[in-house]
A and B are shown apart, each in its own frame.
Chain A
Amino acid sequence: GENVEQHPSTLSVQEGDSAVIKCTYSDSASNYFPWYKQELGKRPQLIIDIRSNVGEKKDQRIAVTLNKTAKHFSLHITETQPEDSAVYFCAAGGAGSYQLTFGKGTKLSVIP
């Protein structure tokens, strides 16, 4: 089955700096890669996703890049703000089913 590795597990950045979180996956048939944000005590919420037919997708301050050859994808957050502080999860799926395999999460702290 699919295996997703996520790094780093924790990340601290100064407000205004950029943050990058990286994930690798094992199943070359996976074609859907979402990122979820989970604030403390809240439910995970989708913030951006990318499908395998594109290499990059951007939505305001967040962007995701995908390298299918290397089987890795990354989340980029620019001009970080304190409200970006949360745990971010990557996931991979779509290989013949709608199941998602999640990474273990990255706790992002944005220091004012």
Chain B
Amino acid sequence: GAGVSQSPSNKVTEKGKDVELRCDPISGHTALYWYRQSLGQGLEFLIYFQGNSAPDKSGLPSDRFSAERTGGSVSTLTIQRTQQEDSAVYLCASSLIGDNEQFFGPGTRLTVL
């Protein structure tokens, strides 16, 4: 079946612009996660959605970052007033309720000039 998909695969933007990154989880997966992976670094947790519960936003690095999940499926990560340090690969993952295993999307490579 279809895996987790993300769009765009690459995004180049100018400092100060807003960007939106999209994640389509595996159908039926109620949990959705966003991570940031800077060059040569590990996976930094950003935000976690589980069903209709309030999201866990504890990993968002600043108030310029926000995320939504509409209808319990697609999620959008928005970065406002982008900075050069926001340049990274943004990975989305999803999992079934009651299951720890996370399935990752291919990521969006964001470059802020």
Q: Chain B contacts of A49 at CB under 8 A?
A: 100-101
A29 CB to closest chain B CB, in angstroms? Answer: 13
Indicate if B70 sits at the interface (CB-CB under 8 A): no
Q: Chain A contacts of B105 at CB under 8 A?
A: 43
Q: Is the CB of B104 within 8 A of A44?
A: yes
Q: Is the CB of B91 within 8 A of A43?
A: yes
Closest to A32 in B: B100
Closest to A90 in B: B42
Q: Is the CB of B43 within 8 A of A94?
A: no
Q: Is the CB of A42 within 8 A of B99?
A: no
The tally of residues in B whose CB lies under 8 Å from a CB in A reads 22
Q: Is the CB of A98 within 8 A of B41?
A: no
Taking CB atoms and an 8 Å cut-off, the chain B residues in 61-106 that contact chain A are: 91, 95, 99-106
Report the Cα distance A105→B38, complex, angstroms: 12
Report the Cα distance A94→B101, complex, angstroms: 10
Q: Chain B contacts of A34 at CB under 8 A?
A: 100-102
Q: Is the CB of A98 within 8 A of B56?
A: no
A42 CB to closest chain B CB, in angstroms? Answer: 7
Main SS class of interface, A = strand
Report the Cα distance A104→B31, complex, angstroms: 23
What are 26 A-to-B residue pairs whose CB atoms are below 8 Å?
A: A32-B100, A34-B101, A34-B102, A42-B106, A43-B4, A43-B91, A43-B105, A43-B107, A44-B91, A45-B104, A49-B100, A49-B101, A97-B56, A98-B31, A98-B95, A98-B99, A98-B100, A99-B33, A99-B45, A99-B56, A100-B45, A102-B35, A102-B45, A104-B42, A105-B41, A105-B42
Q: Report B's interface with A, CB cutoff 8 A.
A: 4, 31, 33, 35, 41-43, 45, 48, 50, 56, 91, 95, 99-107
- Nearest first, the 7 A-B pairs at minimum CB distance are A104-B42, A102-B43, A43-B104, A32-B100, A44-B104, A105-B42, A43-B106
